[in-house]
Amino acid sequence: MSHRSSWLLSLPALALTALCSAQTPSQPQPQPGRTLVHAAHLVDVRSGRLLDDQTLVVSGDRIVAVGPASQVKPQPGDKTIDLGDATLLPGLIDVHTHLTDDTNFDPYHELTTTVAKSALIGARNAKVTLQAGITTVRNVGADGFADVDLRDAISEGLIEGPHMQVSGPALGITGGHMDNNLLPESFHSVGDGVADGIPAVQHMVRQNIKYGADLIKIGATGGVLSKGDDPQASQYTLEEMQAIVVDAHRLGRKVAAHAHGAQGILWASEAGVDSVEHGTYINDEDIKMMKTHGTYFVPTAYLIDWVRENGHLPAYSQQKMRDVSAVEKANAKHAIAEGVKVAMGTDAAVYPHGLNAHELEVYVRDFGMTPPDALRTATVNAADLMGWSDRVGSLEPGKWADVIAVSGDPLKDITVLQRTVFVMKSGTVYRNDLHRQ
């Protein structure tokens, strides 16, 4: 008898064995090993309360339970991480980063940085950002879709970094903030995301999505670090932005608008963008429109302090930076007092990556927020803006096990978030300065 015939005759016996096995009462299956993270304190970011003697139970990449240590029943195979007197929080979220850029304002550096090099820069900055306790980011603008590759490399475990939503090249008008304006006409240099007119911007939205963009970033006004444009001047028209937003939303992507000037903020909000970034010249008309549409405000405020003390900008940017720095904080404080929704974004790359949590100090010191309110901008609010409230933003069962710890109480002193001592992302520990296990 051939081997094939013997194998075929054995099939009924195999089927009978399988049937008998299916009818036998199943035995309890061993649970995957759990990690118990214990600390003296845990912040409930929704209520703004500090809970004592808490244990977080992690299985795989998810939180499965959180509560008083006395109520957590250890199981065989559990691994315990005891962080002593530390305070646990959800990993922070930064909704305005540029991981593939570094803090070098030399125009020649910009012109000579290739897409490949920017990806390598991104790999370094992603690790620095994660180590600082920022476990989730939106990357809003990168040439050559370098941020798409960076996101995918992190997801595949090739390098360390935060969860990422990425935009790919930011959309902008010819000669605008998103264009390459450093070279003369003979070079015919055009920014990757430049598109003018409704058909062209629709095509660019669809192309960015085709090549992996999770969201769309647009230039509603001029910028500070770009050559030859005015931060107060609107760039995309209302009609162009409406076309962008309609296509992006229909295809399941949110839209972030770089906007300094009041007219650009107004049009972007009216068009239905999900967030206004920077908002330097925001006025009462803008505030009313943003509140009507539920538009988030992303202030990116700490960079003003850092650049004032450390920045060496090109000549074409120096006066623009002085102008925006003179009004941005006062206008942001007014907008926040009037009740616009706020999510933390930093514009990290304008200042060194890893200093992201300094943004929250500005919200408390200069904008009048309480520490719990400031913390919510970098947790539940930011998660809501990203559409990831079911994944990140709080320490709750079912969410990714993105956990950080600090020494001290961030509900009283927001600056302790600048000194993270423990970082877990998706159940994997990337930093533990306390070394209690």
Question: Residue 373 is encoded by which pair of tokens?
Answer: 């309110």
d(CA 282, CA 97): 21
From first CA to last CA, the distance across the chain in angstroms is 60
H helix or E strand, kind and range, residue 159: none
Per the listing, tokens 């967030």 go with: 275
d(CA 298, CA 336): 11
Task: Exactly one of 127, 217, 329, 399 is catalytic; name it.
Answer: 217
d(CA 114, CA 93): 28
Strand duo 87-90 + 34-44: pairing: parallel
Please report which residue ranges of 258-401 form alpha helices under DSSP H.
262-271, 284-293, 302-310, 315-337, 358-365, 371-377, 380-386
**Coil vs helix vs strand at 117:** helix
Task: Exactly one of 229, 305, 347, 402 is catalytic; name it.
Answer: 347
Q: What is the DSSP string of 129-151?
A: HHHTTEEEEEE---GGGHHHHHH
d(CA 131, CA 302): 19
d(CA 143, CA 112): 13
Residue 79 near residue 35, CB atoms below 8 Å: yes
Q: How many helices and strands (H and E) does the chain possess?
A: 14, 16
The answer to whether 347 is a known catalytic residue is: yes
Active site residues: 217, 347
